[in-house]
Amino acid sequence: MDRTLIILKPDCVQRGLIGTIITRFECKGLKIVGLKLSRITPRLAQEHYAVHQGKPFYDSLVRFVTSGPVVLMVLEGNNIVEVSRKMMGATFGFKADPGTIRGDLGVSSALNLIHGSDSPETAKVEIARFFNPDELLEFSRTMDSWTYDLSSGLPQ
């Protein structure tokens, strides 16, 4: 199974949407293997968003993500990066389709509730940035056989 990093940003925490968004992922059948409430330091935010350095929104993005508590989460599932990004919707809430997290819960272009890794390779780097290996759990759930067709030995 694949893994991805999800960050519920300060606006999500302040608006009391943590449970709502976690419930969406759980209802989809995705497994939470790491979860913690934290504050991202400016140094860590700069490292995390280094690909955007030099862009007009970079400084405000770093200020925003360090402005309050966040929820850091590692999800596990088949094609998890693609699945979770579809669930999140377009970056700007006013452009996101209804039925997506941002489409249903957001309207801002700056306050977009959630971050998710954009590729499996990025996910590995991002997970290692925010979680120690001993903070990620390996466990099986009986519901997995009701979420995925496991008859071939691989999740379908």
Note the pLDDT tens digit of each residue in 16-25: 999 999 999 9
Residues contacting 55, CB < 8 A, separation 6+: none
Q: Cα separation of 124 and 48, whole Å?
A: 13
How many Cβ atoms from other residues are within 10 Å of residue 64's Cβ? 17
Whether this model's pTM surpasses 0.75: yes
Per-residue confidence (pLDDT) for residue 109, from 0 to 100: 83
CA angle, 84 then 51 then 133, to 5°? 55
The residues that are catalytic are 115
pLDDT tens digits for range 87-123: 999 999 999 999 999 999 999 888 999 999 999 999 9
How many residues make up the chain in this entry? 156
Parallel/antiparallel/unpaired status of strands 70-77 and 31-38 = antiparallel
* Among the ranges given (3-7, 40-44, 75-79, 140-144), the one the predictor scored with the smallest mean pLDDT: 140-144
Which CATH code fits 2-147? 3.30.70.141
Kindly indicate the confidence band of residue 155, based on its pLDDT and cuts at 50, 70 and 90. Answer: confident
